[in-house]
Structure 1
Amino acid sequence: MYLGIDLHKRYAQVAVIDQAGELVEEVRVKNANLDDLAQRYAGATAAIEATSNYYHVHDTLSEYLDVVVANPGKLKLIAHSDKKTDRVDAKQLARLVRLNSIPESYVPTDEVRKARALVRGRQKLVENRTSYANKVHGLLSEHGITEDVKPLSVEGREFLRELSLPAPWNSLLDSYVTIIETLTAEIESLELEIEERAGSLKETQLLMTIPGVSYYSALTIYAELGEIERFDGDKQVVSYVGLNPVIRESGDSRFEGGISKRGSGRVRWILVQCTYVAVHTCNDEYLRRFYDRLASRKSSKKAIVATARKLLVSIYHMLDREEVYDPPGVST
């Protein structure tokens, strides 16, 4: 039997087909009751999409079924339909899994999920704090206050606390500053947990031997890449991160453009930041030499992105071989 399961927040539409492709059952089930359905079809193969809530459903179903997780973006390319309903989607998933044609998505381990939750949670808190800092700047601008105030600094917040604005803007300013202080405390608390987890994993310990890679950077790279064994080589990991150049060919012409920017923007951003620190602050001999050679004939931005790609290749081989950072041609 083959099950196509179209997941939603609280329920799932399920289609079951047999080996001949005939529809056996269609049913709408609460997500909390999916394990009952899975037990009835124990040993069957099921397909679900990688939605925001698929981790728990995947783990529940995997106790009884062989579960395949579909990549939503790639699935759209091969599952064209003029009629878009839950029932149609569920049947389409069931048919594709029967034909072994599901474009699979990576299912991270429990350890990787924990790391992702921490670094992505921190990122969300930082984004929220930045949003309120911008609200403070807007409020000051409305009242003609031109001082260069930094709401994220202790000194900046002390200045804001002493500032006198007319009502109701004074209340708004107090609220914004309080929220920034609360978020700052939560970020600092989360960073302690991130540092502890980064220090406990062999992968992140290896990554932290790279100049410019901190515990947060290391855990972000680990969380977004997942197990390194899932990649067939450094080219695949570079493509996954979106640091591969876009190449267009037409006849005898070949044009190499900017990077593809596919995949995780988080790890791409953190790699560029780490590379910048390694080159300009830590003066890493291996990366600096490569960067200087490119920067002499390209823009500094293109040079730093290309150097980040080189760093990612090194990271792949470090994790694959379980070796510390020891680039060739650099005296230790």
Structure 2
Amino acid sequence: MAKDIQKSCGLDIHKDFSIATVLERGKDGKIQKRFERDDDGILALKNFVLEQKCEVVACESTNDFWMPIYDCLFDKVTVIVGNARDIKALNHKKTDKIDSEHIAILALNGMINPSRVFPKSLRDIRSLVRFRHRVVETRSIIKNIVHSILSSELFQLRNSLSDIFGKTGKTVLRGITEGRSIDNIIERFPERMKKRENEFREILKKQISYDAVLKLKLCLNIMSEIDNSIKFIENRIFNWAYTNRKREMELLMSVPGIGEISAVTLIAEIGDFNDFPTPSKLASWLGIVPNVYQSANKYYSSTITKRGSKYARWILIQVAHVVAARTKKNKLRAFFNRKKPVIGYNKAIVALAHKIVRTIWSLIVNGNCYQDEYNFSKEEFKPSYSVELEEISIDECLSIFVQAKSALTKKDPDKFNLT
């Protein structure tokens, strides 16, 4: 760090409590204290740090447990949130008190590289984006259960439909759980599927046990609730994105393979792109660069570091798959096609994800939409969100009502008096 630190506080933060250790340069001994991780405990910790006149407070980025403490202290004292992997690598013992003291020693000697801490508003939306990701994973689990139920009953619907949870598939599943006849189910098919009537009649002749029907019904009901929840979450996320980061959304969605969910996830996980002076720094922070080891004249390169946000890496890999398989001819797809014969499909996908990171950094920092020599362009689409009405307090409602009543009862000399 720029100046010598004379007094530091190390925090070992857990779900229910925190251990604080204060060390002062040139003095033997230490001050250690335990604080509960609740409102009173965090306030007591704040007062303790200020009373001890600590110049810096350091902790590990353990889950999200550090956030309330950071929000309480960051405007009073320098707070360093360090990467847990780096801090643990320098220690050989493991108790809460030793961890706390060890962090204080590292902070006192300026040996902790501060992690990027997003503003609270961005942390909140990032948490919501990650929550949506987990909800979608839960829906996938329910879908797998449905596949398992149908497979155990030898009901081969997946052989005729690429997605049994599409419009036709849901019509079949709902018809089975509601006890409809074969004719009634087929009548509800989309027109394009009715030409395959005989094929589906053979499938629907298969009898399914009562228990299987009951489980299918419960699964479909759960999926319906999850779908509604996902729509609600996405509406809030997109409202925030188009209100606060509309230009960045437009720039990101000009890139092949990036849609609304991909764009808002990258914005939430990366934050301010200008924090990174070069695209290589961004790729390194996201952990989508190879591990490098060099000794003497030997140079080794292995798998990617995976040090950054796993959600950002996951969405980048998904975007790379979309570019490789589904997009029209463009520069990114041409890059993948060149790499695939040389290093194989999987490595080529990771290399493409790395190139996408460098591309989006350039677009956001320079404020330009994606363009290449193949004149790639996307079709215009309507943003999939609805405008949320701003919340109005009771006092504001009463004030509006009083003003409206006054305006309605006020006599206008130019009008007929109807009272």
Which category describes the TM-score, using the shorter chain as reference length?
0.7 to 0.9
Tell me how many residue pairs correspond in the alignment.
Answer: 329
Q: Which residue of 1 aligns with 2:284?
A: 239
Q: Following superposition of structure 1 onto structure 2, how do residues 116-127 of structure 1 map, counting pairs within 5 Å?
A: 116-127=126-137
Q: Following superposition of structure 1 onto structure 2, how do residues 201-280 of structure 1 map, counting pairs within 5 Å?
A: 201=245, 202-247=247-292, 249=294, 252-254=297-299, 256-278=301-323, 280=325
Match of 2:157, SS state, is coil
Shift of 1:198: 2.6
Q: Which residue of 1 aligns with 2:190?
A: none
Q: Which residue of 2 aligns with 1:65?
A: 77
2:222 is aligned with 1:179: yes
Deviations 1:122-153 (A, max 9, x none): 11111000101111111222222222174533
Q: Following superposition of structure 1 onto structure 2, how do residues 134-153 of structure 1 map, counting pairs within 5 Å?
A: 134-148=144-158, 150=163, 152-153=165-166
Work out whether residues 291 and 304 of structure 2, in 8 Å CA contact, stay in contact via their aligned partners in 1: yes
State which drifts further: 284-293 or 311-320: 284-293
Shift of 1:162: 3.1
Q: Which residue of 2 aligns with 1:194?
A: 237
After superposition, the Cα gap between the structure-2 partners of 1:296 and 1:168, relative to the gap in structure 1 and judged at 3 Å, is closer
Shift of 1:185: 1.2
Work out whether residues 286 and 308 of structure 2, in 8 Å CA contact, stay in contact via their aligned partners in 1: yes
Which consecutive unaligned segments of at least 5 residues does structure 2 have?
Answer: 1-6, 178-207, 377-419
Shift of 1:78: 0.9
After superposition, the Cα gap between the structure-2 partners of 1:279 and 1:130, relative to the gap in structure 1 and judged at 3 Å, is closer
2:18 is aligned with 1:12: yes
The share of aligned pairs that are identical, in percent, is 27
Shift of 1:46: 0.9
After superposition, the Cα gap between the structure-2 partners of 1:276 and 1:282, relative to the gap in structure 1 and judged at 3 Å, is same
After superposition, the Cα gap between the structure-2 partners of 1:36 and 1:271, relative to the gap in structure 1 and judged at 3 Å, is same
2:62 is aligned with 1:54: no
Which consecutive unaligned segments of at least 5 residues does structure 1 have?
Answer: none
**What is the TM-score of this pair, normalised by structure 2?**
0.70
Shift of 1:63: 3.5
Shift of 1:268: 2.3
Q: Which residue of 2 aligns with 1:102?
A: 112
State which drifts further: 313-322 or 250-259: 250-259
In structure 1, what is the Cα distance between the partners aligned to 2:342 and 2:45?
62
Work out whether residues 87 and 103 of structure 2, in 8 Å CA contact, stay in contact via their aligned partners in 1: no
Deviations 1:3-30 (A, max 9, x none): 1111111221111222325334221112
Q: Which residue of 2 aligns with 1:158?
A: 171
Match of 2:269, SS state, is helix
Q: Which residue of 2 aligns with 1:38?
A: 46
Deviations 1:279-319 (A, max 9, x none): 55442532233233334544344333322222211112222
Deviations 1:90-116 (A, max 9, x none): 111111111111243221222431331
Work out whether residues 79 and 92 of structure 1, in 8 Å CA contact, stay in contact via their aligned partners in 2: yes
Work out whether residues 194 and 216 of structure 1, in 8 Å CA contact, stay in contact via their aligned partners in 2: no
Shift of 1:194: 2.6
Match of 1:41, SS state, is helix
Work out whether residues 198 and 216 of structure 1, in 8 Å CA contact, stay in contact via their aligned partners in 2: no
2:367 is aligned with 1:322: yes
Match of 1:318, SS state, is helix
Match of 1:238, SS state, is helix
Which residue of the other structure, out of 20, 31, 36, is the alignment partner of 1:25? 31
Work out whether residues 35 and 44 of structure 2, in 8 Å CA contact, stay in contact via their aligned partners in 1: no
**What is the TM-score of this pair, normalised by structure 1?**
0.87
Root mean square deviation, CA, Å: 2.6
Shift of 1:256: 4.5
In structure 1, what is the Cα distance between the partners aligned to 2:343 and 2:143?
36
In structure 2, what is the Cα distance between the partners aligned to 1:314 and 1:307?
10
Work out whether residues 34 and 61 of structure 1, in 8 Å CA contact, stay in contact via their aligned partners in 2: no
Match of 1:23, SS state, is coil
In structure 2, what is the Cα distance between the partners aligned to 1:92 and 1:258?
31
